[in-house]
Amino acid sequence: MDLSSLGGFDEAEAHARALKARVREREELTCSVGLGPNKLVAKIASDFQKPDGLTVVRPDDVLGFLGGLRVRVIPGIGPKTEAALGERGIATVADLRAVEPARLAEWFGKLGLELHDKSRGISDDPVSNEWERKSVGEQETFEEDSLDPGFVLGRARALAAEVFRRFAAEGFREFRTVTVTVRFTGFVTVSRSRTTTVPQRSLAELEAEATRLLEPFFDARENPKRKKIRLIGVRVEKLGRPDEAGIDRPVE
């Protein structure tokens, strides 16, 4: 659940305690709850004190909380990856965190770069309890941070192409919102979106909109200190698909 609307961790913790009490009262069951600054950390925290735990990990405590845990707690690390890391002397999340991202990418490709972020408790995965997909997105962490417009925009076009491929494969026909995410050196992350009144249906429209949203990050409009970029993401939202009569149906 996304509890950010409650205002802070103290309020979220009180809500979690009340929820645990309600579950025990109504269902006669215990449950374990984890609170964190994002879904990744909260999920790991929820497994920390089973079967009846409440683990609260505040933003300043993320690195310390994760550091001593076994690498297997990180989503995406299964038995084979754990064994491959163990052969290299990497047993804990702190050990994983100490490995350069380029080395992880050499070992595991795209997964290695994802593990580099996850070992630091960094994740943009949205919290949702809806079965109907509301968005389609892709992101990429660069092996080297860059502020080269040609390179960054080229990678954005590649991401847009993959997003559009998945969007079409899942039966969607149109989108009205395009969102780009930019993470700078230092892990500051910013997202920008634009929603059109007229539905968009082509890859060319998606590429153009993503480029338009990213361009300000190369100058003083969004990046006055000219920080290099380490990650970009492209996402489409407000999706529509045709119903059985062939009429486009929005997914609200």
The 10s digit of each residue's pLDDT in 211-237 is 999 999 999 999 999 999 999 999 999
- Res 167 pLDDT > 60: yes
Residue 116 and residue 224 in one domain: no
CATH of the domain at 123: 1.10.150.20
Same domain (yes/no): 123, 144: no
C-alpha span between 144 and 157 (Å, rounded): 18
| pLDDT at residue 247 greater than cutoff 70 | no
Q: Is the pLDDT of residue 248 over 60?
A: no
Least confident of 122-136, 139-153, 183-197: 122-136
Helix (H) or strand (E) holding 46: helix 39-46
Residues 110 and 204 in one domain: no
Which stretch of 6-20, 116-130, 169-183, 196-210 has the lowest confidence by average pLDDT?
A: 116-130
Q: What is the CA radius of gyration of the chain?
A: 20
User: Are 113 and 146 in the same domain?
Assistant: no
pLDDT at 244 exceeding the cut of 50:
no
CATH number reported for the structural domain that contains residue 155 in this entry? 3.30.1490.100
* Reported confidence tier of residue 246, pLDDT bands at 50, 70, 90: very low
Q: With 70 as the cut, is the pLDDT of residue 251 above it?
A: no
Q: Which of 129, 146, 177 is the last residue of a domain?
A: 129
Q: Is the pLDDT of residue 250 over 70?
A: no
CB-based contact 34:57 (threshold 8 Å): yes
Q: What is the pLDDT of residues 78-117, one digit of tens each?
A: 889 999 999 999 999 999 999 999 999 999 998 999 999 9
Whether residues 68 and 141 share a domain: the answer is no
Question: What's 120's DSSP letter?
Answer: T
Tell whether 111 and 187 lie within a shared domain: no
In terms of pTM, does the model score above 0.85?
Answer: no
What does the pLDDT read at residue 138? 96
Count of positions (residues) in the chain: 252
Q: Is 91 helix (H, G, I), strand (E, B) or coil?
A: coil
Instruction: Give me the mean pLDDT over the 3-8 stretch.
Output: 89
**Same domain, yes or no, for 60 and 125?**
yes
Are β-strands 229-242 and 248-250 bridged in parallel, bridged antiparallel, or unpaired?
antiparallel
What is the pLDDT of the chain when averaged over all its residues? 92
Going by pLDDT thresholds of 50, 70 and 90, the confidence category of residue 129 is: low
Residues 111 and 160 in one domain: no
- Separation between Cα atoms, residue 230 and residue 212, nearest integer Å: 19
| Whether residues 17 and 124 fall in one domain | yes
Confidence of residue 124 (pLDDT cuts 50, 70, 90): confident
239 pLDDT more than 90: yes
Number of domains within the chain: 2
Per-residue confidence band for 77, with pLDDT thresholds at 50, 70 and 90: very high
Range of the domain at 158: 135-250
Question: Are residues 140 and 119 part of one domain?
Answer: no
Residue 207: the pLDDT is 98
